[in-house]
Copies of this chain bind each other. A is one copy, B any other.
Amino acid sequence: MANITTRPVTKLGIVGAGSVGTSMAYAAIIRDTARQIAIYDIDAVRAEAEGLDLAHGTQFTGANTVTGGGNIEDLAGADVIAITAGARQQPGQSRLDLAGANVRILEKLMPQLMEQAPDAVYIMVTNPADVLAVAAQKIAGLPRNRMFSSGTVLDTSRLRLLLAREAHVLMTSVHATIIGEHGDSEFPVWSNATIGPVPIREWEISGRQVFTDEFLAAATDDVVNAAYKVIEGKGATNYAIGLAGVRIIEAVLNAENAVLPVAATLNGEYGISGVALSLPSIVGHNGVYKMLEMPLDEAETGKLMASAETLQGTLTSLGI
């Protein structure tokens, strides 16, 4: 009969075997996101150990294989590549300096990745993700649909958790989205938010308005500061971003055309161009098909412009 081979039906590459990259791989094996997962890190020893630990768990998952190591060739032919590799912040180093360090990593990394996986869809997770998505896109010469950041998919999930708990409903029955920068200038589109089909400000429990302006302002603050709070307590955030990343990856691998708030480089949406900021977008087989223009009120439009300016400022400072 035929020789025994194990042809990977779908292949996911992850760059970076840190806490984010390995959590994403863990979520991916448990959810059966891809048939084959390869993790690459310059720290080959760590990547191999992580790959081994993950592989030891595959007895309890679907028919997946997962490996880790220091050979970038292991990513060859990947359908999707998630980039989670990054420099660690050095003492005295500013956030901008860190961004610059990560751009320099991408300058070396992207050409190597493009050699291994020229047709892959690339998802930038390393921070500042929106800025690095633009940088990586330019370095690699990728069309904007095939290089985008995980955007505010995670931030939106944090928002929905807060709202769902307060409304006492299932998270997927909450419709509210964080858009703009994945960072301090991001904001929820309250004008459009609903619980089930009920406008958020009209949601009542026992005749009392639940989502007052005070509540909404506090929730916004909470979301914007959630990462800081988690990092303060445990040194990093990894589990939620692992699942958020996998959700985006699945939209691509399954050709879903799901609407998710990722950040690809804008090209005229809301009159903005050249920066990547998060808008609800159609994500499918070829990456981002379209970034949607939803109705915004005046204040929200202002905030979106402010987000765009912040990001443009960073890009300019970094010379991108």
Contacts and interface: CB of A to CB of B under 8 A. Distances in A.
Interface of A: 1-10, 22-23, 26-27, 30-31, 35, 45-46, 48-50, 52-63, 143-145, 154, 156-158, 160-161, 168-173, 175, 177, 189, 192, 195-199, 202, 205, 226, 229-234, 237-240, 242-244, 246-247, 251, 253-259, 267, 280, 282, 284-290, 292-295
Copy number of this protein in the oligomer?
4
Contacts of A197: 175, 177, 189, 192, 259, 280, 292, 294
A3 B55 CA distance: 36
Contact of A30 (B31, B161, B282): B31
Nearest to A5: B285
A285 B230 CA distance: 32
Contacts of A251: 170
A172 B258 CA distance: 8
Given A169-B258, A258-B173, A199 B295 contact: yes
A168 B292 contact: no
A29 to B, nearest CB: 8
Contact of A234 (B46, B169, B282): B46
Nearest to A30: B30
B196 A294 contact: yes
Nearest to A287: B2
A173 to B, nearest CB: 4
Contact of A255 (B8, B59, B144): B8
A229 B54 CA distance: 13
Nearest to A192: B197
Q: Which 8 A-B pairs have the closest CB atoms?
A: A49-B233, A196-B259, A56-B240, A59-B157, A57-B243, A57-B240, A173-B259, A197-B294
Contact of A169 (B31, B238, B282, B288): B282
Nearest to A60: B243
Contact of A52 (B8, B31, B57, B230): B230
25 contacts: A2-B287, A4-B290, A9-B254, A23-B26, A26-B242, A27-B30, A30-B243, A49-B230, A49-B234, A52-B230, A56-B158, A56-B237, A60-B243, A63-B255, A63-B256, A63-B258, A169-B258, A169-B282, A170-B251, A170-B256, A192-B197, A196-B280, A196-B292, A198-B292, A199-B295
B282 A61 contact: no
Nearest to A256: B63
